[in-house]
Structure 1
Protein backbone atom coordinates (compact mmCIF):
# COMPACT_ATOMS: atom_id res chain seq x y z
CA UNK A 1 0.00 0.00 0.00
CA UNK A 2 1.34 3.44 -0.89
CA UNK A 3 2.09 6.11 1.69
CA UNK A 4 -0.67 8.27 0.26
CA UNK A 5 -3.20 5.44 0.41
CA UNK A 6 -2.23 4.76 4.02
CA UNK A 7 -2.68 8.44 4.88
CA UNK A 8 -6.06 8.51 3.17
CA UNK A 9 -7.30 5.55 5.20
CA UNK A 10 -5.93 6.67 8.56
CA UNK A 11 -7.29 10.20 8.29
CA UNK A 12 -10.83 9.16 7.36
CA UNK A 13 -13.41 10.59 9.73
CA UNK A 14 -16.61 9.07 11.03
CA UNK A 15 -18.68 11.94 9.68
CA UNK A 16 -18.14 13.52 6.27
CA UNK A 17 -17.76 17.26 5.68
CA UNK A 18 -21.10 17.60 3.90
CA UNK A 19 -24.28 18.97 5.38
CA UNK A 20 -27.30 16.95 6.32
CA UNK A 21 -30.18 17.32 3.90
CA UNK A 22 -33.44 19.09 4.75
CA UNK A 23 -35.23 17.32 7.54
CA UNK A 24 -32.15 15.37 8.62
CA UNK A 25 -30.10 17.86 10.59
CA UNK A 26 -31.97 17.48 13.86
CA UNK A 27 -31.22 13.76 13.97
CA UNK A 28 -27.77 13.66 12.41
CA UNK A 29 -25.11 12.08 14.70
CA UNK A 30 -22.37 14.66 14.38
CA UNK A 31 -18.75 13.90 15.12
CA UNK A 32 -17.18 15.82 17.97
CA UNK A 33 -14.39 17.47 16.01
CA UNK A 34 -14.83 17.65 12.21
CA UNK A 35 -11.97 20.12 11.67
CA UNK A 36 -9.59 19.88 14.62
CA UNK A 37 -8.48 16.28 14.14
CA UNK A 38 -7.31 16.53 10.56
CA UNK A 39 -3.85 15.10 10.01
CA UNK A 40 -1.38 16.24 7.38
CA UNK A 41 0.02 13.69 4.95
CA UNK A 42 3.71 12.75 5.15
CA UNK A 43 6.08 15.42 3.89
CA UNK A 44 8.04 14.85 0.73
CA UNK A 45 11.69 14.23 1.54
CA UNK A 46 14.72 14.79 -0.60
CA UNK A 47 16.56 17.61 -2.32
CA UNK A 48 13.40 19.52 -3.18
CA UNK A 49 12.56 20.37 0.41
CA UNK A 50 10.01 23.04 -0.52
CA UNK A 51 8.22 20.48 -2.67
CA UNK A 52 8.11 18.23 0.36
CA UNK A 53 6.18 20.50 2.70
CA UNK A 54 2.45 19.90 2.74
CA UNK A 55 -0.09 22.52 3.74
CA UNK A 56 -0.33 23.53 7.37
CA UNK A 57 -3.63 21.81 7.89
CA UNK A 58 -5.07 19.04 5.78
CA UNK A 59 -8.76 19.06 4.99
CA UNK A 60 -11.16 16.35 3.88
CA UNK A 61 -10.86 15.80 0.15
CA UNK A 62 -13.97 16.35 -1.92
CA UNK A 63 -12.71 13.70 -4.31
CA UNK A 64 -12.43 9.98 -3.75
CA UNK A 65 -9.41 7.75 -3.44
CA UNK A 66 -5.87 8.59 -4.46
CA UNK A 67 -6.96 11.17 -7.02
CA UNK A 68 -8.88 13.23 -4.46
CA UNK A 69 -6.09 13.00 -1.91
CA UNK A 70 -3.46 14.15 -4.40
CA UNK A 71 -5.59 17.11 -5.48
CA UNK A 72 -5.99 18.02 -1.83
CA UNK A 73 -2.29 17.87 -1.00
CA UNK A 74 -1.00 19.64 -4.09
CA UNK A 75 -3.72 22.28 -3.80
CA UNK A 76 -2.80 23.03 -0.20
CA UNK A 77 0.88 23.23 -1.04
CA UNK A 78 0.23 25.74 -3.83
CA UNK A 79 -2.18 27.91 -1.86
CA UNK A 80 0.08 27.93 1.21
CA UNK A 81 2.99 29.13 -0.90
CA UNK A 82 5.07 25.99 -0.40
CA UNK A 83 4.92 25.65 -4.19
CA UNK A 84 5.39 29.20 -5.41
CA UNK A 85 4.24 30.85 -8.63
CA UNK A 86 5.91 29.59 -11.80
CA UNK A 87 7.22 26.53 -9.96
CA UNK A 88 7.45 23.60 -12.43
CA UNK A 89 5.52 20.48 -11.48
CA UNK A 90 7.03 17.36 -13.00
CA UNK A 91 4.44 14.54 -13.21
CA UNK A 92 7.06 11.81 -12.96
CA UNK A 93 8.45 13.33 -9.75
CA UNK A 94 5.01 13.76 -8.23
CA UNK A 95 4.12 10.16 -9.04
CA UNK A 96 7.33 8.90 -7.47
CA UNK A 97 7.05 11.01 -4.33
CA UNK A 98 3.40 10.12 -3.66
CA UNK A 99 3.64 6.58 -5.05
CA UNK A 100 0.75 7.02 -7.45
CA UNK A 101 0.32 6.25 -11.11
CA UNK A 102 0.82 8.68 -13.97
CA UNK A 103 -2.92 8.54 -14.61
CA UNK A 104 -3.67 9.73 -11.07
CA UNK A 105 -1.12 12.53 -11.39
CA UNK A 106 -2.43 13.59 -14.78
CA UNK A 107 -6.07 13.73 -13.66
CA UNK A 108 -5.14 15.58 -10.46
CA UNK A 109 -3.24 18.24 -12.38
CA UNK A 110 -6.23 18.67 -14.69
CA UNK A 111 -8.43 19.39 -11.68
CA UNK A 112 -5.93 21.93 -10.37
CA UNK A 113 -5.72 23.51 -13.82
CA UNK A 114 -9.52 23.93 -13.86
CA UNK A 115 -9.23 25.77 -10.55
CA UNK A 116 -6.64 28.13 -12.04
CA UNK A 117 -3.84 26.89 -9.79
CA UNK A 118 -1.61 25.45 -12.52
CA UNK A 119 -1.20 25.75 -16.28
CA UNK A 120 0.03 23.16 -18.75
CA UNK A 121 1.57 24.22 -22.03
CA UNK A 122 3.45 22.34 -24.75
CA UNK A 123 7.23 22.59 -24.48
CA UNK A 124 6.84 24.36 -21.12
CA UNK A 125 5.19 21.75 -18.95
CA UNK A 126 2.99 22.30 -15.91
CA UNK A 127 3.71 25.30 -13.73
CA UNK A 128 2.08 26.92 -10.71
CA UNK A 129 0.08 30.03 -11.62
CA UNK A 130 0.07 33.30 -9.64
CA UNK A 131 -2.75 33.98 -7.18
CA UNK A 132 -4.30 36.49 -9.62
CA UNK A 133 -5.22 33.53 -11.85
CA UNK A 134 -6.79 31.38 -9.15
CA UNK A 135 -10.53 30.80 -8.97
CA UNK A 136 -10.90 32.28 -5.51
CA UNK A 137 -14.60 31.37 -5.43
CA UNK A 138 -13.86 27.66 -5.71
CA UNK A 139 -14.91 25.95 -2.43
CA UNK A 140 -11.68 23.94 -2.26
CA UNK A 141 -9.52 27.04 -2.64
CA UNK A 142 -11.63 28.82 -0.02
CA UNK A 143 -10.90 25.98 2.39
CA UNK A 144 -7.20 25.78 1.57
CA UNK A 145 -6.74 29.54 2.01
CA UNK A 146 -8.64 29.43 5.30
CA UNK A 147 -6.02 27.11 6.83
CA UNK A 148 -2.95 28.72 5.30
CA UNK A 149 -0.98 31.94 5.72
CA UNK A 150 -3.73 33.87 3.89
CA UNK A 151 -6.24 32.96 6.58
CA UNK A 152 -6.90 36.50 7.81
CA UNK A 153 -7.37 37.88 4.31
CA UNK A 154 -9.64 34.96 3.46
CA UNK A 155 -11.87 35.57 6.48
CA UNK A 156 -12.14 39.28 5.76
CA UNK A 157 -12.92 38.78 2.08
CA UNK A 158 -15.50 36.09 2.78
CA UNK A 159 -17.24 38.22 5.38
CA UNK A 160 -17.34 41.18 3.01
CA UNK A 161 -18.72 38.97 0.24
CA UNK A 162 -21.39 37.52 2.51
CA UNK A 163 -22.37 41.00 3.64
CA UNK A 164 -22.95 41.86 -0.02
CA UNK A 165 -24.87 38.73 -0.97
CA UNK A 166 -27.00 37.62 1.95
CA UNK A 167 -29.00 40.73 2.86
CA UNK A 168 -30.18 40.92 -0.76
CA UNK A 169 -30.99 37.21 -0.73
CA UNK A 170 -33.05 37.66 2.45
CA UNK A 171 -35.01 40.53 0.88
CA UNK A 172 -35.69 38.54 -2.29
CA UNK A 173 -36.58 35.36 -0.41
CA UNK A 174 -39.41 37.22 1.35
CA UNK A 175 -41.21 37.36 -1.97
CA UNK A 176 -40.83 33.67 -2.72
CA UNK A 177 -42.68 32.00 0.11
CA UNK A 178 -42.78 28.21 0.07
CA UNK A 179 -44.46 26.48 2.94
CA UNK A 180 -42.00 23.59 3.13
CA UNK A 181 -38.99 25.93 3.07
CA UNK A 182 -40.55 28.25 5.62
CA UNK A 183 -41.16 25.31 7.96
CA UNK A 184 -37.61 24.07 7.54
CA UNK A 185 -36.24 27.50 8.42
CA UNK A 186 -38.45 27.55 11.51
CA UNK A 187 -37.12 24.10 12.44
CA UNK A 188 -33.54 25.29 11.96
CA UNK A 189 -34.07 28.21 14.32
CA UNK A 190 -35.31 25.72 16.93
CA UNK A 191 -32.24 23.57 16.35
CA UNK A 192 -29.99 26.63 16.76
CA UNK A 193 -31.70 27.49 20.02
CA UNK A 194 -31.42 23.95 21.35
CA UNK A 195 -27.78 23.65 20.28
CA UNK A 196 -26.96 26.93 22.02
CA UNK A 197 -28.60 25.74 25.23
CA UNK A 198 -26.66 22.45 25.06
CA UNK A 199 -23.35 24.13 24.23
CA UNK A 200 -23.21 22.11 21.01
CA UNK A 201 -21.19 24.35 18.69
CA UNK A 202 -20.97 21.74 15.95
CA UNK A 203 -24.71 21.25 15.61
CA UNK A 204 -25.12 25.02 15.76
CA UNK A 205 -22.68 25.47 12.88
CA UNK A 206 -24.32 22.80 10.74
CA UNK A 207 -27.78 24.28 11.28
CA UNK A 208 -26.43 27.76 10.61
CA UNK A 209 -24.84 26.65 7.33
CA UNK A 210 -28.04 24.98 6.16
CA UNK A 211 -30.08 28.05 7.14
CA UNK A 212 -27.98 30.49 5.13
CA UNK A 213 -27.55 28.18 2.14
CA UNK A 214 -31.28 27.48 1.97
CA UNK A 215 -32.12 31.16 2.20
CA UNK A 216 -29.99 31.95 -0.84
CA UNK A 217 -31.47 29.05 -2.78
CA UNK A 218 -35.04 30.30 -2.32
CA UNK A 219 -34.27 33.91 -3.22
CA UNK A 220 -35.49 33.24 -6.75
CA UNK A 221 -32.27 34.43 -8.39
CA UNK A 222 -30.38 31.69 -10.20
CA UNK A 223 -27.12 33.64 -10.22
CA UNK A 224 -27.30 34.07 -6.45
CA UNK A 225 -28.16 30.39 -6.17
CA UNK A 226 -24.80 29.55 -7.74
CA UNK A 227 -23.13 31.44 -4.89
CA UNK A 228 -24.76 29.35 -2.16
CA UNK A 229 -21.82 26.92 -2.21
CA UNK A 230 -19.45 29.80 -1.55
CA UNK A 231 -21.45 30.89 1.48
CA UNK A 232 -21.56 27.33 2.77
CA UNK A 233 -17.79 27.07 2.38
CA UNK A 234 -17.38 30.38 4.17
CA UNK A 235 -19.47 29.13 7.07
CA UNK A 236 -17.52 25.90 7.34
CA UNK A 237 -14.03 27.43 7.29
CA UNK A 238 -14.58 30.87 8.78
CA UNK A 239 -11.85 30.21 11.35
CA UNK A 240 -12.14 30.14 15.12
CA UNK A 241 -15.48 28.67 16.14
CA UNK A 242 -16.85 26.99 13.02
CA UNK A 243 -20.01 29.07 12.85
CA UNK A 244 -21.20 31.58 10.32
CA UNK A 245 -22.22 33.92 13.10
CA UNK A 246 -18.80 33.46 14.68
CA UNK A 247 -20.20 33.19 18.20
CA UNK A 248 -23.35 31.20 19.04
CA UNK A 249 -25.36 33.60 21.18
CA UNK A 250 -28.96 34.26 22.08
CA UNK A 251 -28.75 37.45 20.02
CA UNK A 252 -27.72 35.56 16.89
CA UNK A 253 -30.54 33.05 17.35
CA UNK A 254 -32.95 35.96 17.78
CA UNK A 255 -31.76 37.51 14.51
CA UNK A 256 -32.27 34.20 12.71
CA UNK A 257 -35.81 34.11 14.10
CA UNK A 258 -36.37 37.69 12.98
CA UNK A 259 -35.28 36.78 9.46
CA UNK A 260 -37.78 33.92 9.43
CA UNK A 261 -40.53 36.25 10.67
CA UNK A 262 -39.75 38.67 7.85
CA UNK A 263 -39.94 35.87 5.30
CA UNK A 264 -43.19 34.57 6.74
CA UNK A 265 -44.86 37.97 6.60
CA UNK A 266 -43.40 38.80 3.18
CA UNK A 267 -41.56 41.80 4.66
CA UNK A 268 -38.30 41.94 2.75
CA UNK A 269 -37.08 45.01 4.62
CA UNK A 270 -37.32 43.22 7.98
CA UNK A 271 -35.57 40.12 6.64
CA UNK A 272 -32.81 42.21 5.06
CA UNK A 273 -32.27 44.32 8.18
CA UNK A 274 -32.08 41.27 10.42
CA UNK A 275 -29.54 39.67 8.12
CA UNK A 276 -27.37 42.80 8.17
CA UNK A 277 -27.49 42.83 11.96
CA UNK A 278 -26.54 39.16 12.03
CA UNK A 279 -23.55 39.54 9.72
CA UNK A 280 -22.07 42.75 11.12
CA UNK A 281 -19.85 41.09 13.68
CA UNK A 282 -16.38 41.78 12.31
CA UNK A 283 -14.62 45.15 12.73
CA UNK A 284 -12.97 44.79 9.32
CA UNK A 285 -16.39 44.44 7.71
CA UNK A 286 -17.82 47.41 9.58
CA UNK A 287 -15.10 49.57 8.08
CA UNK A 288 -16.32 49.00 4.54
CA UNK A 289 -20.10 48.73 4.91
CA UNK A 290 -22.68 51.06 6.45
CA UNK A 291 -24.32 50.16 9.73
CA UNK A 292 -27.59 48.26 9.30
CA UNK A 293 -30.73 50.36 9.32
CA UNK A 294 -33.44 49.67 11.82
CA UNK A 295 -36.85 48.84 10.41
Structure 2
Protein backbone atom coordinates (compact mmCIF):
# COMPACT_ATOMS: atom_id res chain seq x y z
CA UNK A 1 0.00 0.00 0.00
CA UNK A 2 1.41 3.39 -1.01
CA UNK A 3 1.74 6.23 1.48
CA UNK A 4 -1.03 8.13 -0.30
CA UNK A 5 -3.35 5.15 -0.09
CA UNK A 6 -2.58 4.73 3.61
CA UNK A 7 -3.30 8.40 4.23
CA UNK A 8 -6.61 8.14 2.39
CA UNK A 9 -7.59 5.05 4.38
CA UNK A 10 -6.65 6.77 7.62
CA UNK A 11 -8.69 9.86 6.68
CA UNK A 12 -11.70 7.68 5.85
CA UNK A 13 -11.35 5.87 9.17
CA UNK A 14 -11.29 9.16 11.11
CA UNK A 15 -14.28 10.51 9.15
CA UNK A 16 -16.31 7.36 9.77
CA UNK A 17 -15.36 7.23 13.44
CA UNK A 18 -16.15 10.92 13.99
CA UNK A 19 -19.46 10.71 12.13
CA UNK A 20 -20.76 7.68 14.01
CA UNK A 21 -19.29 8.77 17.34
CA UNK A 22 -20.98 12.17 17.09
CA UNK A 23 -24.30 10.55 16.15
CA UNK A 24 -24.11 8.46 19.31
CA UNK A 25 -23.10 11.40 21.52
CA UNK A 26 -25.87 13.58 20.07
CA UNK A 27 -28.49 10.88 20.56
CA UNK A 28 -29.20 10.39 16.87
CA UNK A 29 -28.23 6.80 17.60
CA UNK A 30 -29.91 6.30 20.97
CA UNK A 31 -29.02 3.69 23.60
CA UNK A 32 -30.44 0.34 22.58
CA UNK A 33 -30.62 1.27 18.90
CA UNK A 34 -29.13 -1.06 16.31
CA UNK A 35 -26.27 0.35 14.28
CA UNK A 36 -27.05 -0.81 10.76
CA UNK A 37 -23.49 -1.04 9.51
CA UNK A 38 -24.35 -1.91 5.92
CA UNK A 39 -26.68 1.08 5.63
CA UNK A 40 -24.17 3.47 7.23
CA UNK A 41 -21.38 2.17 4.99
CA UNK A 42 -23.52 2.80 1.92
CA UNK A 43 -24.56 6.25 3.16
CA UNK A 44 -20.99 7.34 3.82
CA UNK A 45 -19.39 5.57 0.88
CA UNK A 46 -17.30 3.32 3.11
CA UNK A 47 -16.21 -0.26 2.67
CA UNK A 48 -17.51 -3.04 4.88
CA UNK A 49 -13.98 -3.62 6.21
CA UNK A 50 -13.66 0.06 7.16
CA UNK A 51 -16.98 -0.13 9.00
CA UNK A 52 -15.88 -3.25 10.87
CA UNK A 53 -12.73 -1.45 12.05
CA UNK A 54 -14.73 1.56 13.25
CA UNK A 55 -17.17 -0.69 15.11
CA UNK A 56 -14.22 -2.41 16.78
CA UNK A 57 -12.86 0.96 17.96
CA UNK A 58 -16.27 2.09 19.22
CA UNK A 59 -16.60 -1.20 21.07
CA UNK A 60 -13.28 -0.62 22.86
CA UNK A 61 -14.67 2.76 23.96
CA UNK A 62 -17.78 1.13 25.39
CA UNK A 63 -20.07 2.97 22.97
CA UNK A 64 -21.39 -0.10 21.17
CA UNK A 65 -21.61 -3.82 21.78
CA UNK A 66 -21.56 -6.51 19.11
CA UNK A 67 -24.14 -9.17 19.91
CA UNK A 68 -24.31 -12.51 18.15
CA UNK A 69 -27.28 -12.69 15.80
CA UNK A 70 -28.45 -9.28 17.06
CA UNK A 71 -25.94 -6.98 15.39
CA UNK A 72 -24.34 -3.85 16.82
CA UNK A 73 -26.17 -2.21 19.74
CA UNK A 74 -25.56 1.35 20.93
CA UNK A 75 -24.77 1.52 24.65
CA UNK A 76 -25.77 4.22 27.19
CA UNK A 77 -23.36 6.99 28.17
CA UNK A 78 -22.55 5.43 31.54
CA UNK A 79 -20.85 2.58 29.68
CA UNK A 80 -18.59 4.82 27.62
CA UNK A 81 -14.86 5.26 28.27
CA UNK A 82 -15.34 8.82 29.43
CA UNK A 83 -11.63 9.71 29.36
CA UNK A 84 -10.97 8.41 25.84
CA UNK A 85 -9.67 11.39 23.82
CA UNK A 86 -12.22 10.88 21.05
CA UNK A 87 -15.14 10.63 23.48
CA UNK A 88 -14.02 13.82 25.23
CA UNK A 89 -13.69 15.62 21.90
CA UNK A 90 -17.13 14.52 20.70
CA UNK A 91 -18.70 15.59 23.99
CA UNK A 92 -17.06 19.01 23.77
CA UNK A 93 -17.96 19.39 20.09
CA UNK A 94 -21.59 18.40 20.67
CA UNK A 95 -24.66 20.38 21.64
CA UNK A 96 -24.16 19.37 25.28
CA UNK A 97 -20.70 20.92 25.50
CA UNK A 98 -21.58 23.36 28.29
CA UNK A 99 -22.83 20.52 30.47
CA UNK A 100 -19.68 18.53 29.65
CA UNK A 101 -17.46 21.49 30.51
CA UNK A 102 -19.26 21.94 33.83
CA UNK A 103 -18.97 18.24 34.66
CA UNK A 104 -15.27 18.28 33.79
CA UNK A 105 -14.90 21.32 36.05
CA UNK A 106 -16.43 19.25 38.86
CA UNK A 107 -13.77 16.61 38.21
CA UNK A 108 -11.08 19.26 38.24
CA UNK A 109 -12.30 20.63 41.57
CA UNK A 110 -11.77 17.17 43.06
CA UNK A 111 -8.35 16.38 41.60
CA UNK A 112 -6.41 19.57 40.90
CA UNK A 113 -6.32 21.08 44.41
CA UNK A 114 -5.14 17.68 45.67
CA UNK A 115 -2.52 17.53 42.93
CA UNK A 116 -1.30 21.03 43.84
CA UNK A 117 -1.10 20.04 47.51
CA UNK A 118 0.96 16.96 46.65
CA UNK A 119 3.14 18.84 44.15
CA UNK A 120 4.14 21.30 46.87
CA UNK A 121 5.74 18.36 48.66
CA UNK A 122 6.72 16.12 45.75
CA UNK A 123 7.64 18.21 42.69
CA UNK A 124 11.30 18.05 41.73
CA UNK A 125 13.30 21.07 40.49
CA UNK A 126 12.65 20.43 36.76
CA UNK A 127 8.91 20.12 37.43
CA UNK A 128 8.87 23.33 39.45
CA UNK A 129 10.85 25.05 36.68
CA UNK A 130 8.31 23.85 34.09
CA UNK A 131 5.53 25.28 36.23
CA UNK A 132 7.19 28.68 36.49
CA UNK A 133 7.96 28.69 32.74
CA UNK A 134 4.31 27.97 31.95
CA UNK A 135 3.09 30.79 34.19
CA UNK A 136 5.52 33.26 32.63
CA UNK A 137 4.26 32.21 29.20
CA UNK A 138 0.66 32.77 30.27
CA UNK A 139 1.53 36.25 31.51
CA UNK A 140 3.44 37.05 28.31
CA UNK A 141 0.52 36.01 26.10
CA UNK A 142 -2.24 37.14 28.45
CA UNK A 143 -3.50 39.81 26.06
CA UNK A 144 -4.22 37.04 23.52
CA UNK A 145 -5.81 34.45 25.79
CA UNK A 146 -8.01 33.03 23.04
CA UNK A 147 -5.03 32.11 20.85
CA UNK A 148 -2.92 28.90 20.67
CA UNK A 149 0.17 30.25 22.45
CA UNK A 150 -1.69 31.11 25.64
CA UNK A 151 -3.61 27.84 25.49
CA UNK A 152 -0.41 25.80 25.25
CA UNK A 153 1.12 27.51 28.28
CA UNK A 154 -2.13 26.94 30.22
CA UNK A 155 -2.10 23.25 29.25
CA UNK A 156 1.57 23.00 30.26
CA UNK A 157 0.82 24.61 33.62
CA UNK A 158 -1.90 22.16 34.60
CA UNK A 159 0.09 19.20 33.28
CA UNK A 160 3.07 20.29 35.39
CA UNK A 161 0.92 20.40 38.53
CA UNK A 162 -0.63 16.98 37.91
CA UNK A 163 2.70 15.36 37.05
CA UNK A 164 4.43 17.13 39.90
CA UNK A 165 2.04 15.45 42.32
CA UNK A 166 4.11 12.28 42.11
CA UNK A 167 0.90 10.27 41.71
CA UNK A 168 0.77 8.51 38.31
CA UNK A 169 -3.03 8.28 38.41
CA UNK A 170 -3.35 12.03 38.84
CA UNK A 171 -0.68 12.60 36.20
CA UNK A 172 -2.69 10.39 33.85
CA UNK A 173 -5.53 12.92 33.94
CA UNK A 174 -3.40 15.63 32.30
CA UNK A 175 -4.89 14.82 28.89
CA UNK A 176 -8.42 15.14 30.30
CA UNK A 177 -7.71 18.63 31.63
CA UNK A 178 -5.99 19.50 28.34
CA UNK A 179 -9.10 18.41 26.42
CA UNK A 180 -11.25 20.72 28.55
CA UNK A 181 -8.90 23.65 27.99
CA UNK A 182 -8.78 22.99 24.24
CA UNK A 183 -12.57 22.73 24.16
CA UNK A 184 -13.02 26.11 25.84
CA UNK A 185 -10.76 27.79 23.28
CA UNK A 186 -12.16 25.94 20.26
CA UNK A 187 -15.70 27.03 21.09
CA UNK A 188 -14.89 30.68 21.86
CA UNK A 189 -15.42 30.29 25.60
CA UNK A 190 -12.18 32.07 26.46
CA UNK A 191 -11.90 35.86 26.76
CA UNK A 192 -9.61 37.67 24.34
CA UNK A 193 -7.64 38.99 27.31
CA UNK A 194 -6.81 36.80 30.29
CA UNK A 195 -8.59 37.68 33.50
CA UNK A 196 -6.14 39.33 35.91
CA UNK A 197 -7.48 37.31 38.82
CA UNK A 198 -6.94 34.06 36.92
CA UNK A 199 -3.35 35.00 36.09
CA UNK A 200 -2.68 35.99 39.70
CA UNK A 201 -4.06 32.67 40.95
CA UNK A 202 -1.85 30.72 38.55
CA UNK A 203 1.14 32.68 39.84
CA UNK A 204 0.08 31.93 43.43
CA UNK A 205 -0.05 28.19 42.70
CA UNK A 206 3.42 28.27 41.16
CA UNK A 207 4.80 30.32 44.06
CA UNK A 208 3.22 28.05 46.69
CA UNK A 209 4.52 24.88 45.05
CA UNK A 210 7.98 26.41 44.70
CA UNK A 211 7.85 27.48 48.37
CA UNK A 212 6.58 24.00 49.34
CA UNK A 213 3.39 25.39 50.89
CA UNK A 214 0.72 22.67 50.34
CA UNK A 215 -2.21 24.55 51.88
CA UNK A 216 -1.64 27.71 49.84
CA UNK A 217 -1.14 25.67 46.66
CA UNK A 218 -4.39 23.76 47.17
CA UNK A 219 -6.38 26.89 48.00
CA UNK A 220 -5.15 28.81 44.97
CA UNK A 221 -5.82 25.86 42.66
CA UNK A 222 -9.35 25.45 44.02
CA UNK A 223 -9.92 29.13 43.28
CA UNK A 224 -8.61 28.68 39.71
CA UNK A 225 -11.08 25.88 38.99
CA UNK A 226 -14.02 27.82 40.49
CA UNK A 227 -13.09 30.97 38.57
CA UNK A 228 -12.74 29.03 35.30
CA UNK A 229 -16.15 27.40 35.69
CA UNK A 230 -17.77 30.77 36.45
CA UNK A 231 -16.01 32.33 33.45
CA UNK A 232 -17.25 29.63 31.06
CA UNK A 233 -20.82 30.10 32.30
CA UNK A 234 -20.53 33.87 31.88
CA UNK A 235 -19.09 33.57 28.36
CA UNK A 236 -21.79 31.06 27.41
CA UNK A 237 -24.55 33.31 28.75
CA UNK A 238 -23.12 36.28 26.88
CA UNK A 239 -22.90 34.29 23.64
CA UNK A 240 -26.48 33.04 23.92
CA UNK A 241 -27.82 36.52 24.63
CA UNK A 242 -26.12 37.81 21.47
CA UNK A 243 -28.16 35.42 19.28
| TM-score of the alignment, normalized to the shorter chain, above 0.5 | yes
CA distance in 2, matches of 1:255, 1:284: 14
Q: Look up the match of 2:108.
A: 162
CA distance in 1, matches of 2:192, 2:175: 18
- Label 1:116 to 1:247 Cα distance change in 2 as closer, same or farther (>3 A): farther
Q: Look up the match of 1:142.
A: 88
Kindly provide the CA deviation profile for residues 28-57 of structure 1, in whole angstroms up to 9, marking residues without a partner as x: xxxxxxxxxxxxxxxxxxxxxxxxxxxxxx
TM-score, length basis structure 2: 0.83
CA distance in 1, matches of 2:174, 2:43: 37
Matched, 1:263 2:201: no
1:178 Cα offset (Å): 1.9
Kindly provide the CA deviation profile for residues 112-133 of structure 1, in whole angstroms up to 9, marking residues without a partner as x: 1111111101100002112222
- Label 1:224 to 1:246 Cα distance change in 2 as closer, same or farther (>3 A): farther
Matched, 1:217 2:163: yes
Q: Look up the match of 1:151.
A: 97
Matched, 1:204 2:125: no
Which of 4, 29, 32 is residue 83 of structure 1 equivalent to?
A: 29
Matched, 1:107 2:53: yes
CA distance in 1, matches of 2:184, 2:141: 19
Contact residue 131 and residue 206 of structure 2 kept, 8 A:
yes
Kindly provide the CA deviation profile for residues 129-175 of structure 1, in whole angstroms up to 9, marking residues without a partner as x: 12222222322222212222322321211111101110000010111
CA distance in 2, matches of 1:255, 1:227: 21
Contact residue 159 and residue 174 of structure 2 kept, 8 A:
yes
1:260 Cα offset (Å): 0.9
Higher-helix-fraction structure:
2
1:247 Cα offset (Å): 7.0
1:217 Cα offset (Å): 1.4
Q: Could you list the runs of 5+ residues in structure 1 that have no partner in the other structure?
A: 10-62, 286-295
CA distance in 1, matches of 2:192, 2:111: 18
Which of 127, 130, 133 is residue 181 of structure 1 equivalent to?
A: 127
Kindly provide the CA deviation profile for residues 176-233 of structure 1, in whole angstroms up to 9, marking residues without a partner as x: 2322222221111111111113566332122111210221112111221222221111
Which of 76, 86, 94 is residue 40 of structure 2 equivalent to?
A: 94
The structure showing larger relative contact order (alpha-carbon pairs under 8 Å, at least 6 residues apart) is 2
- Label 1:200 to 1:241 Cα distance change in 2 as closer, same or farther (>3 A): closer
Q: Could you list the runs of 5+ residues in structure 2 that have no partner in the other structure?
A: 233-243
1:246 Cα offset (Å): 10
Contact residue 260 and residue 271 of structure 1 kept, 8 A:
yes
Which of 259, 267, 273 is residue 219 of structure 2 equivalent to?
A: 273
Q: Is the partner of 1:163 in helix, strand or coil?
A: helix
